[in-house]
């Protein structure tokens, strides 16, 4: 199975993708995670991507298409994968077509803009293992440290209020057109993001035919 998770920043793509990944036994490939790792390690990719991410803009297509192409050549991708945060533009979707990659389903998680702001502002993540939390909706055990590995949780620099509004605007302009793109192919599945994480998971599993 090759699955794409679509949705505004903070809609819960990454969280749901991780759960589906465990259930289906296929890896999640998140361009956001790859880019943040590159920034942390100060690689040439990280240096090029950093200023875009911090402003809430998209990293140029050529750059992300290259990293995704490399990643998909890894042996763990041979039985399928979940794409989280890619494609984010029509050009990126067309790049998948050019690689002859056949996508089975696109899960489109919908959360209204007002909710997005609240969600991103409360999001926390673990700098060591990458686990994500929310101060209200999905808190870690003690609220300060990662439940999985005990590192102190941090807030992403692009989750600061001034950047969040930029990211939302970018989403509506550049990424939302992908809904139509995949709806026309008959593979878009809509999931309305719920108040409780587990309820969104149940809807997601249902559209994917997983239990």
Residue of 47, 129, 144, 210 interacting with Zn ion (CB under 5 A): 129
Check if the beta carbon of residue 110 is closer than 8 Å to that of residue 190. yes
Pick the piece of the chain touching Zn ion (CB under 5 A) from 13-21, 58-66, 120-128, 186-194. 120-128
Q: Of 71, 119, 124, 167, which one is the catalytic site residue?
A: 167
CA pair distance 23, 32, nearest whole angstrom: 22
Per the annotation, the verdict on 183 as an active-site residue is: no
Q: Of 71, 105, 123, 124, which one is the catalytic site residue?
A: 123
Which residue, 28 or 140, has its beta carbon nearer to ligand ADP?
A: 28
Which residue, 77 or 150, has its beta carbon nearer to ligand ADP?
A: 77
Structure tokens at 160: 């600061």
b/e sequence 114-149, b meaning 16+ C-beta within 10 Å: eebeebbebbbbbeeebbbbbeeebebeeeeebeee
Structure tokens at 140: 């870690």
Q: Of 36, 71, 88, 119, which one is the catalytic site residue?
A: 88
Separation of CA 194 from chain center: 17
Which residue, 162 or 209, has its beta carbon nearer to ligand ADP?
A: 162
Q: Of 13, 71, 119, 124, which one is the catalytic site residue?
A: 13
Per the annotation, the verdict on 124 as an active-site residue is: no
Per the annotation, the verdict on 156 as an active-site residue is: yes
CA pair distance 86, 4, nearest whole angstrom: 7
Binder of residue 144, out of ligand ADP, Zn ion, none (CB less than 5 to 8 A by kind): none
Structure tokens at 13: 């793509």
Name the 3-class secondary structure at 87: coil
**66-95 footprint of Zn ion as x/- string (CB under 5 A):** ------------------------------
Check binding of 126 to Zn ion (CB under 5 A): yes
Which parts of this chain interact with ligand ADP (CB under 6 A)? 9-10, 13, 31-32, 35, 52-53, 56-59, 64, 85-86, 88, 92, 158, 167
Which residue, 142 or 192, has its beta carbon nearer to ligand ADP?
A: 192
> Which positions ≥6 away from 129 have C-beta within 8 Å?
146, 148, 149, 151
Q: Which residue numbers are catalytic?
A: 13, 88, 123, 156, 167
């Amino acid at each position: 199975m090759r699955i794409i998770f679509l949705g505004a920043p903070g809609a819960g793509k990454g969280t749901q993708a991780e759960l589906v990944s465990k259930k289906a036994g296929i890896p999640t490939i998140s361009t956001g995670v790859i880019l943040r790792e590159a920034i942390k390690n100060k690689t040439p990719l990280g240096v090029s991507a950093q200023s875009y991410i911090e402003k809430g803009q998209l990293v140029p297509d050529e750059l992300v298409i290259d990293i995704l192409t490399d990643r998909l050549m890894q042996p763990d991708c041979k039985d399928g994968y979940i794409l989280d945060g890619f494609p984010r533009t029509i050009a990126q979707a067309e790049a998948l077509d050019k690689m002859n990659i056949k996508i089975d389903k696109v899960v489109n998680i919908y959360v209204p803009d007002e909710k997005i702001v609240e969600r991103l502002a409360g999001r926390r993540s673990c700098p060591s293992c990458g686990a994500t939390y929310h101060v209200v909706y999905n808190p870690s055990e003690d609220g300060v440290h990662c439940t999985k590995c005990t590192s102190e949780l941090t807030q992403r620099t692009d989750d600061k209020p001034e950047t969040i509004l930029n990211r939302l605007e970018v989403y509506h302009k550049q990424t939302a057109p992908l809904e139509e793109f995949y709806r026309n192919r008959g593979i878009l599945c809509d999931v309305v993001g719920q108040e409780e994480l587990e309820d969104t998971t149940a809807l997601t599993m249902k559209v994917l035919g997983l239990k």
